[in-house]
Amino acid sequence: MSLVSTVTIPTTPAAATTQAIPAIDWQIDTLDLDAYLRRVGLPAEPPSAQALSALHEAHVRTIPFENIDVILGRTPSLELADIAAKLVHRQRGGYCFEHGLLFAAVLERLGYEVRRCVARVGFAKPDAPATHLMLLTRVGGDRFLVDVGFGSGLLTPLPLTDGASTDHGGWPFRLRRDDRFWLLEKPVDGAWRVEHGFDETPQRPIDYVVGNHFVATHSRSPFTRRLVVQRKDRGHVRKLTGRGYQVEYADGRPTEARTVTADKLEDVLRSLDIVVDGDDLARLRQVYAGEE
């Protein structure tokens, strides 16, 4: 029997009128919850703000953000069983659609209310597509932005409150309300910069299929042009972007940077907790060498 998501999370009085969420089968019963919890190293706990925070951080610190399948010419599957096979049962990661759909299923299986939404990265740009999957959830009387698939973004949930600002491994983020939109911001060069913006409209599976197709195939997508791997932890972020490997520190230490050649790619990926081997590794090296 399939578990069907019919959750409605009420909006705040200032928000736009809530639309009814149709009954949608997100296939959450296909998830091996015990295997996921072993992957992130946590036990199952009843819903609470503390448990949600611990689970969010464990996910971000354990499962990498990466676009290897896209670089290999594949559009990542958004079937939950396929996502779990890759992110839970193999030593791989994924990007926002994979992370978000997996984490939403985990939360619902644990008893949380979840709304699957979409954000527009580079919100102020007129041509910025709405292609970032993020989640809203409620614990008791409090609501949170849950965003495990934003690369080096949130480490823990951010309270869905105008002006809320919290620390994320040494980097602050805040939410600001602008009419019906929520804007996620971080400080850059002494000023708050918008990272992405979203409203509370619930999405359907087909919405993510459309966005995933754009992100995985379009020439304007940042993920079709170069390899992107990110690992966030407390105090530092490790990144492989194209040929450049960087370690950024929250305490202001200088960024460590070096160039990675194709023959060193496997070692660097393994240091980022990603295992690619066989034909995929050979093909990835070939494509990666073309970036050099």
The edge-to-edge listing of strands for the beta sheet with 256-259 is 65-66, 228-233, 236-241, 244-249, 256-259
How many other C-beta atoms can be found within 10 angstroms of the C-beta atom of residue 54? 16
What are the distances in angstroms from CA 262 to CA 64, 266, 267?
20, 8, 10
How many other C-beta atoms can be found within 10 angstroms of the C-beta atom of residue 29? 15
182 with 199: CB under 8 angstroms?
yes
256: which residues sit within 8 A by CB, 6+ positions away? 246, 247
Give the C-alpha separation, 135 to 118, whole Å.
Answer: 8
Sole residue written with tokens 């590794």: 281
The total number of residues written for the chain in this structure: 292
How many other C-beta atoms can be found within 10 angstroms of the C-beta atom of residue 19? 11
CA atoms within 13 Å, Cβ hemisphere of 101: 31
Catalytic residue ranges: 96, 132, 147
Name the burial class of residue 206, with classes exposed (0-12), middle (13-18) and buried (19+) by CB atoms within 10 angstroms of its CB: exposed
Give the C-alpha separation, 15 to 190, whole Å.
Answer: 30
